[in-house]
Structure 1
Amino acid sequence: MEKLSATSLTDRYGRKIVGVSTFTFFMFLMYQLFLFLNIPARFSGIGVLRPTVLLFLIISLLLVAQRDKIAHKFDQPIFKTFSAFLIMLVLTLPFVSYPGSVIKMNLQIFIKAIVFLYFCALILDSEKRLKISLFVFVACQVFRVLEPLFLNITTGYWGSSTYMGGGEFANRLSGAPEDVINPNELGFVIVTAIPFLHYFLLPRGWISKLLYFGLLALLLYALILTMSRGAFLALIVVGWFVFKDSKRKILLICFGVVGVMAALSVMNDTQRERYLSLFSSDTKQSASAEGRINGIIKEFELGLKRPIFGFGLGTTPEAKYHNFGRKQASHTMYGELLIEVGIVGMYFFIRFIIAIRRQLTAAMVSAENCSDFYKSLFKICNVIFWMFAVYSINYWGLSQYYWYNLAGIVIAASLLMNMNKTKESNA
């Protein structure tokens, strides 16, 4: 692998700071590959070694050993607000309903998610490293979509189904057999990848444009097969920002109309009714949409039974089982926050999200005088931020990686952009 040069900058005291080692960065790339592609499940011999846990420990130890190179980054507002949230979790642990479950079962899942904030922000300390990491991330997400789609086309694979009522079930595309994600999660992966492809591929040459449209068609077809209504709403959010940012709105409208007609033509009756149930109460599947809304309301009602500190981190399924008789994941991150960390924790986590928004807004303004890469990247982050905010209404997220990954990218990209602007002004 080509040796990457470290980034040189100075801290508030004027001391020179050098980026983390190339080996640390390489380990982070391996961590992304092993986690997103679930490599341990694909090779049983590797799985015995617990490679993701091993990589996490190696990277953590490497960062501790290089703490003098990364200490300045913890002054970022995002880090400060998230540190306050972590302190709150520790202090309120004795007061939650299921502290044993938090420590024994849920803490490891939470740590595996939040490390993306620290790894991205602390390790991606050069523009080249940032670009390589983003490429690996997007490539993994696209592969996670194309793999089950290929299996569906060639072998009839679906991976999941949904109850239609009257004893009938309908097939839904989920992740590949080695990728443990359900149809809604696969839809989330699809909608997350699209903004990266749109802003990084479309403005380039014809080969990149052809690659973009080819991948877009495949991703949207896979989204149809997931029958994920939440992902469809998230796609509308992405589409709105793309439309608002476009200078060719008439052409985009025509493209959208053709796309909708093409989508309707490839949908079967069940898929068509599934998506129409979002806007009509006369379809067969409108009852399931109403059921999801009622489920979200029940989650907030459940959270109000322990409103101050909640039931405990990651204990939504356990709390639902004891109160509703059914062990089930959360239907909304905002209800999940109330259930697991209460009003106190919800306040601190929303502060964390607001800190991401503020730093992202400032970065977008500053990027107007920077290279196209930073302009595009912060546009992507802005689209994804609002997509996450909307999709979290219908999707859990406290112990999922996506908010933390976005926060880490925003910190890393903001620091690098400001460093480049300082270099240019000095020159």
Structure 2
Amino acid sequence: MVHLPQKATEQNSPFAFFFLVLYTASVLIRPHEMFLTSIEWVTIKVFAIIALIATLASQRPLKLYPQHWMLLGLIPLIAISGFLNGSGMYGIEQAQRLFISSIIPLFLYSTCITSIKRQHLLMVVCIVAAMLMIHNGHVQQSEVFGWALDTHAVGHTELPDDRRITYLGFFNDPNDLGMFLVMNIPFVIYFYKKGQFLTKITMLGALAAIAYGIYLTGSRGTALGAGGLLAVYFLVTSAGPKLLITSVVSAPIAATVIASLQSNIDSSADGRLEAWYAGILMLLDNPIFGVGMGQFFEEHGLVAHNSFIHVAGELGVPGYSLWGGMLTFTLLTGYFFIKNGKVPQHETVDITTEPDEVDENFQNELTLNKTLFMSLIGFMITGFFISRMFTLLLFIYLGMLLASHVRLVKIRPHLKVYMDKKIAIRSMAYCWVVILAVYAALKLGL
């Protein structure tokens, strides 16, 4: 990891975190878009800028981790790919967009969430946003239009059972809304386990509401994401390394087989398989720089409906290695912390003299790490069936998980070995398991 210039002492900026909370609420709840008078307000950009300036000015230490560098490495790749594929200015625009809507949020969340209390507050904001989306969707189910300005159900709106709910901003697609709901399931379960009677009752209601909301989205990928979380939880907490590795390799194949079976009765599923294969061909024809960011639709006429295939087709081997490596490295680190949170036998670190509250804080951090790990798994599963490679949701939750890793290493420095750049480099190879598995399944089935 690379250290930026910093003061010797730590400084946590309450001002920066305050505006990060406002930014989170504006992105997820989007209150400014609920009224005609404020719909054009640029509150999201203003809050992000203030939070960034405050972080750079008063947050210490400031560090860049491999995830940051991997995203930064995508910027020149996107620009070069655009020029080589005849869309130079568009490539530059996409690179700028990546910096603003992906790199900056990742940096802010990974830097400013310096305590469990801060993380809890942001998790509550996420759950509140989910409940508002579900209630708005419930109104859409009966009246087509929700109470949030201009939000309406999509699909066969004349048939209530075929209506698919939406929300404001980038949640205007049922699949994005469903992805967000799945990523909040671990948050609700976390507060249920930690809370007292009233909290447990509240979280049970929230969990039931999320299940209802997932049903209202009508998204098969979302339903698979919710079910997949249970399977992954079992594998992570109970399965041995061999079973886990086998499951990771076979999961993309199984998902492709499921999509293939659906294609026999659903034309949209058949189109998804064709798009996946088209993405593989784009990668094989343009292995270095791909077809250019944003050009998948131009080449095929449809998006890939698969975040992994989409990135590989548009950005080639280097681009997918950086993007996929970023995800894989973060998940691997989280998994190592889950499995190896205790001090190894060969470590010389003496933890017997540490205060009890430090040990309790460490266990709380481990529990929070597992929760955030599962939320990111929720993105991985749902993202396998839709193209949301650079959605802001990914970088909000990725930043939260990275911040958890930073706090864990601060408490137990010996865990720093799991955030080593060597693991990050290997992760850039491990991420290709998904692409190779899909390709093998497609070759066998098409």
Please give the TM-score of this superposition, normalised by the length of structure 1: 0.75
Offset, 1:197? 0.6
Is the Cα–Cα contact under 8 Å of residues 229 and 378 in structure 2 kept in the other structure? yes
Cα drift, residue 233 of structure 1: 1.1
The match for 2:119 is 130
* Maintained 8 Å contact 1:300/1:339: yes
Of 336, 348, 370, the residue aligned with 1:362 is: 336
1:229 and 2:223 are equivalent in the alignment: no
Question: Of residues 94, 98, 101 in structure 2, which corresponds to 1:112?
Answer: 101
Counting only pairs closer than 5 Å after superposition, residues 221-300 of structure 1 correspond to structure 2 as: 221-242=212-233, 285-300=265-280
Cα separation, partners in 2 of 1:285 and 1:209, compared to 1, 3 Å: farther
- Does structure 1 retain, via aligned residues, the 8 Å contact 2:183–2:376? no
Shift of residue 400 of structure 1? Answer: 0.8
2:442 is matched with none
Opposite residue 214 of structure 1, the aligned amino acid is G
Where 2:388 maps in the other structure, the secondary structure is coil
2:420 maps to what in 1? none
Matched, 1:312 2:292: yes
Structure 1: gaps of 5 or more residues:
1-10, 248-276, 423-427
**Residue 19 of structure 1: SS of its match in structure 2?**
coil
Partner of residue 248, structure 2: none
Distance change >3 Å, CA 364–CA 370, structure 1 → 2:
farther
* Equivalence for 1:141: 130
Contact 1:144 1:179 in 2 (8 A): no
Distance 1:46 1:79 in 2: 33
Cα deviation for residue 21 of structure 1 reads 2.0
Structure 1 partner of 2:405: 414
Task: Write the distance in 1 (CA, Å) between the matches of 2:34 and 2:6.
Answer: 48
CA contact (8 A) 1:304 1:338 kept: no
Q: Does 1:196 align with 2:187?
A: yes
Residue 159 of structure 2 is aligned to residue 185 of structure 1: no
Q: How far off is 1:244 after superposition?
A: 5.8
SS in 2 for 1:134: helix
Q: CA deviation at 1:196?
A: 1.1
> Per-residue deviation at 1:378?
1.6
User: Is the 8 Å Cα contact of residues 295 and 331 (structure 1) preserved in structure 2?
Assistant: yes
1:240 positional shift: 1.8
Match of residue 160, structure 1, among 141, 150, 154: 154
Contact 1:280/1:286, CA 8 A, preserved across alignment:
no
Q: Residues of 1 paired with 2:392 and 2:24: CA distance?
A: 11
Counterpart of 2:34 (choices 39, 42, 67) is 42
The reply to whether residue 26 of structure 1 matches residue 13 of structure 2 is: no
**Structure 2 CA distance for aligned equivalents of residues 282 and 348 of structure 1:** 32
Q: SS state of the match for residue 44, structure 1?
A: coil
Q: CA deviation at 1:305?
A: 4.2
Deviations along 1:65-96, one digit per CA (max 9) or x if unpaired, are 337x233x22x333343333345445555334
The number of aligned residues is 370
Q: Structure 1 residue 173: deviation in Å?
A: 2.1
Residue matched to 1:270 = none
Asked if 1:175 corresponds to 2:163, the answer is no
Amino acid at match of 2:338: M
Q: CA deviation at 1:144?
A: 2.2
Aligned to 1:205: 196
* CA offset digits 1:223-256 (Å, max 9, x no partner): 1222211111111111224456789xxxxxxxxx
How far, CA to CA, are the matches of 2:280 and 2:312 in structure 1? Answer: 7
What is the CA–CA distance in structure 1 between the aligned matches of 2:132 and 2:102, rounded to whole Å? 20
1:368-407 superposed matches below 5 A: 370-371=360-361, 372-407=363-398
CA distance in 2, matches of 1:120, 1:178: 21
TM-score, with structure 2 as normaliser: 0.72
Letter in 1 for 2:311: L
> 2:216 aligns to what SS in structure 1?
helix
Aligned 8 A contact 2:78 2:92 in 1: no
Match of 2:326 among 317, 335, 352: 352
Q: Distance in 2 between matches of 1:60 and 1:12?
A: 15
Q: Distance in 1 between matches of 2:76 and 2:11?
A: 28
Deviates more, 1:77-86 or 1:377-386: 77-86
Q: 1:281 to 1:211 in 2, by over 3 A?
A: same
Letter in 1 for 2:379: F
- Can you list the C-alpha shifts for 1:334-358, whole angstroms capped at 9, x where unaligned? 1211232122211222221222123
Counterpart residue number, 1:95 = 84
CA contact (8 A) 1:145 1:175 kept: no
Residues 172 and 183 in structure 1, CA contact (< 8 A), matched pair in contact too: no
Q: 1:177 to 1:126 in 2, by over 3 A?
A: closer
Structure 2: distance between partners of 1:169 and 1:307: 46
Per-residue deviation, 1:287: 3.5
> Secondary structure of the equivalent of 2:97?
helix
Q: Equivalent residue of 1:18, what SS?
A: coil
Q: Which amino acid aligns with 1:161?
A: G
Who is 2:46 aligned against? 54
**What is the root-mean-square deviation of aligned Cα atoms in Å?**
3.5
> Are the counterparts in 1 of residues 288 and 317 from structure 2 also a CA contact under 8 Å?
yes
Q: Distance in 2 between matches of 1:342 and 1:162?
A: 38
Shift of 1:365: 3.9
